[in-house]
Structure 1
């Protein structure tokens, strides 16, 4: 691990700390190879910073050119890279090889471990984690310890962003997921995540099951079919915002970033139906902006505000 730890600036206060992987996505097509910043938690941190949220990222990258590119990408948006990040021998990669017929093969070269949070950092309002970081040892144990330490002081948000190729058995992955749900305030997953984890359950039943494990809010996104937000007291269906789709890269991470923004800016504490409405529409608008343009380009604060001003408020309570 990196022993060159730098002290935090005096009275440094972050609204959100994201804990999770930052990696390089390598895409190879018959026309050539391109590299892009990746890793779901890093994407969420990037999206939050673009929305004007004071955000730190606790991650691990290599002391190499790919790590340099990732750090430049993240800090360029305003993300604070927390001490210990440049701790790996090389930056992790996720490689997609696309054939001429459009079929794809995927390969992962991922190492995950992470430093503990520096005690000099005041507790943030929200801690977010998920994806590979919550499953892959040895770092997953450190992630769990951080959530255990901060759950009484922060809102904890969790998005498993399931990657079956990097998980152990289904039973092991489900057990790990449920242990982290127990430590989380808000759990967001896609319909594909829900169906992989609980193939025997309808989506609404999966949301109820997550709430029974201790989460206060369960969110399941359903692509063009919108999203479900459920609490023990009520549930709300938010339609997707109609928009021309260029590609869906980064849509789920943009949704998550805007959901966290909504948690930070909600008018009152708790999850009354009016709050669920605000959270769902904010997140849906951010995802719509992202899918309307190529690549993982989440909205800025100004873009999201403009989108929300022109968005009809359509919802269904139960």
Structure 2
């Protein structure tokens, strides 16, 4: 009979250890202490990070893209996620958030209430962002309008609606290591920061495993398009194995939307082009240099 209490104690100890390892882990306040944001540079961070592409209202154009009322739907194998309102509205949006709140959401996937956020917010990439860039983004967001549209609930079922399970996902898949390690030229290094962190290109262009983690051994090797219900469409391989354009051609595509064959960009990539067209030309060139430095994929 003494075995039962021992097993129970072991089970409780295991549960406590699991809770400890997978609990939300927000940043210390010291991570942003003393940072002063530059809203002008924060606008560049805003476009590079694609904030409006996901959080503007469906179909918004022009200045309406800066009204971050949310509502766009993003299908996935785990359910449909709906972008929340991140405008400056104090109730419907994030108007009451502090810089630390924003930094925790973007780099740790933790809400101001201390809950895990779903990785549809690409904090797996944003976790590599420099805190000064987060502070600059925060300053720019403060200049944008408030909108009272309430955020819609995600359409996800059991067991994916259990946020506590995301702690295990983070333990398995979050890393601040570069997918392309080592020393790069200054231009390619800037490209690495854009591709792997702010612009989060790997979130779409890298295949995922059954748990939704990126298969970093197949970095940028292409993946199924989750928005295609037929399952036939693919996000392309953008390693040198398939993307054979020159650096100048890649940079031109990122800012004009035209391929070397004068095809035009479509789908969500059109938003990426709109964003890069607002950035310094050097950033598109940096992305092109980085993509040429990535090892070619070996898959089909």
Q: TM-score, normalised by structure 2?
A: 0.30
Question: Which one has the bigger strand percentage?
Answer: 1
Larger radius of gyration: 2
Q: TM-score, normalised by structure 1?
A: 0.29
**With CA pairs under 8 Å and 6+ residues apart, which has the higher RCO, 1 or 2?**
2
Question: Which one has the bigger helix percentage?
Answer: 2
